[in-house]
Amino acid sequence: MDKNTIIGFILIALVLFGFTWYTQPSAEEQRAAFVKDSIENVVKKEAEKAAKVMAAQKQETAKKQTAVDTTALFHQAMTGRNENIILHNSKLELTLSSKGATVTKAVIKGYAGHNLKVKDGSQDASSVTLFDGTDQQLNFTLSTKESNINTQDLYFTPSQITDSTVVFTAEAGAGRYISLSYTLGSDYLLHSQMAVVGLANAFAPNTNTLDINWKDKIKQQERGFTFENRYATLTYHKIEGGTDYLNETKEHIDEPVEDAIDWVAFKNQFFSAVLIAKDNFKANASMTSIPQEKGSGYLKQYEAKLKTVFDPTGQTNSQFDFYFGPNDFRLLKKVEKESSFGKNLEMQRLVYLGWPLFRIINRWFTIYVFDFLTGLNINMGIVLILITLLLKLITYPMVKKSYMSSAKMRVLKPKLDAATAQFNKPEDQMQKQQAMMAEYSKYGVSPLSGCLPMLIQMPIWIAMFNFVPNAIQLRGESFLWIKDLSTFDPIWEWNTNIWLIGDHLSLTCILFCIANVLYSWMTMRQQKDQMVGQQAEQMKIMQWMMYLMPVMFFFMFNDYSAGLNFYYFISLFFSAAIMWALRKTTNDEKLLQILETRYEENKKNPQKKLGGLAARLQAMQEEQMKLQNQRKELERKKREL
């Protein structure tokens, strides 16, 4: 990037900022617009509230009429006593209510629950309550000839109760009923079937679908609200393959889903509630995701309105699986084998591993290495250090090649200065570049060989950016001063939220930024030693940009997990150490002597040229020089005419 390009970017930025400032409305206009929007929002919300109240009143009236109408279907099931049934195994404890016959509480065992009421977010229990009470609601709607039957309004009678099974039955008269049966598997999977008996005549002949309305108010489970909220998404899987999700930062109300899907997940950062249908959910489902306020104790309000296949004759039951458990890659892959539906569920995609390239790195390298190291039962902080060392070992040949390329250009700098001394005018920059490339060609040095190996390391950085925040194994794990590697590690906290910073300072983020400054200083110093002529002046501008980047990183990563910041800190520390060691072990005199020997060999073989990208770059420069000379010749002829 040359000086003119940098100045161009700065001017464009100034124009954009100036235009934004110039076109923004005045304070009076902003106030008037705010008042108008506020009034419109209040009116809209009041109208929506009134509509909901009226709908609720109508629904309640209909319930009462059904309860007293002895001829109505399920009139006896409209009243009754609510009874809680608990299913449990070593991994999960589920509370099911006879009112609606659905799960009202899910407790995941073996994972620490955090007390969010205290500042340090210390562990409060040995289990995580995924939802409780009215936070989660599930309703099946059956459209009969006379009215709609909502299972959430019915009182079911439990039977066949064991630690892992229960059958709920809602009577509609002699020999007519709806039953919902549940069987808890060995870990986190709950199998369910809905059956209707003796009700075929109650439905219209063309009835073949069942409406499902599933709601869940996602609890905040981790200490960092903003960071956790970033990974809480309503996710669904298309039957053709692949997952999609609602944007985690925006509000979505009844967002249509055009594809048929086979599961919907109300996903938190580390835990999910998933509803899976054997016969799929039909296209044109609608999804809702509403972000909640910080301090409310909740992250999102989710809702899914779905339709699936239904047999009113009762010959074929509607089958569903529920998953209430951790977002663990290996564990989610097992769910596919435990499910009796025989479908390619791809539930492991709930653990986001990044875009395709970064996903491949994480899927086929990082996860295997991580599993191996965690299997050694060593501290997770040590695991991150060992992963960093392994990655540095793998990329060391490329790093060394990059450094040696820079070192060659450094020792050749006096010769480049002499070869380009006559091209110091702005209009001579093309000739200067050609002279430099010619000099590199003489000594067999490719200026691009130092860039490409370094670029190969960037996908690893980005892959780890996606992997570490989603690694549930880091949750609740301490290391040195860090109490929990999955969230931030504050050295100073306050109650007021400050723009761009938040309400704390994270120590690992500060260390990461300091290491970034150190590494940038070493990199810029190395590049400065090889710059020729005006390049050294342009490097001063680049230097300020490189030093500003750690400041930008601080505002970005202060709220990120300590594990991610610690990995970046260790990675940069080792990178700086490797660069320092290479600098100390490189003998510039011997390196120059090697290049001089190569120069003598190339003199005997004048046909030898640069290869690869360097050769193409040189060819492009020669072509540009040719075009420039042609334009000058045309301008000269025009002046003569």
Ranges of each domain in the chain: 37-68, 78-352, 391-452+471-604
448-482 burial by CB neighbour count: b if 16+ within 10 A, else e?
ebbeebbeebeebebbbbbbbbbbbbbbbbebeeb
CATH class name, domain 78-352: mainly beta
Spatial contact of 302 and 254, defined as CB atoms under 8 Å apart: no
Bridge-based pairing of strands 234-238 and 209-219 is unpaired
Residue 321 burial by CB count (10 A; 0-12/13-18/19+): exposed, middle or buried?
buried
CA distance 266 to 218: 8
Residues 6+ away with beta carbon under 8 Å from 350: 235, 243, 265, 267, 272, 274, 327, 332
Report CA 309 to chain centroid distance, whole Å: 33
Spatial contact of 243 and 235, defined as CB atoms under 8 Å apart: yes
CA distance 282 to 263: 11
| pLDDT computed for residue 596 by the predictor | 86
Neighbours of 568 (CB within 10 A): 25
CA distance 327 to 91: 14
CA distance 499 to 501: 6
Q: Where are the alpha helices (DSSP H) in 529-561?
A: 534-557
Residue 346 burial by CB count (10 A; 0-12/13-18/19+): exposed, middle or buried?
middle
| pLDDT computed for residue 46 by the predictor | 62
CA distances, 43 to each of 32, 104, 275, 400, 438 (Å) = 17, 34, 36, 66, 74
Amino acid at 459: P
pLDDT tens digit string along 179-205?
999 999 999 999 999 999 999 989 988
In eight-state DSSP terms, residue 499 is T
Coil, strand or helix: which one is 640? helix
Q: Token match 């890659």: residue? A: 329
Amino acid at 161: I
Amino acid at 328: D
Spatial contact of 332 and 243, defined as CB atoms under 8 Å apart: no
Amino acid at 228: E
Provide the token pair at 560: 């990120």
CA distance 387 to 375: 14
| pLDDT computed for residue 600 by the predictor | 79
pLDDT tens digit string along 394-444?
989 888 888 888 888 888 888 877 877 777 776 666 777 777 777 777 777
Q: Where are the alpha helices (DSSP H) in 86-127?
A: none
CA distance 311 to 207: 8
Spatial contact of 512 and 553, defined as CB atoms under 8 Å apart: yes
Question: pTM higher than 0.75 for the full model?
Answer: yes
Residues 6+ away with beta carbon under 8 Å from 57: none
Helix, strand counts (H, E) of the chain: 15, 21
Neighbours of 273 (CB within 10 A): 23
Spatial contact of 620 and 627, defined as CB atoms under 8 Å apart: no
Pick out the chain residues at pLDDT < 70: 1-72, 117-124, 426-429, 447-454, 456, 528-542, 604-626, 628, 641
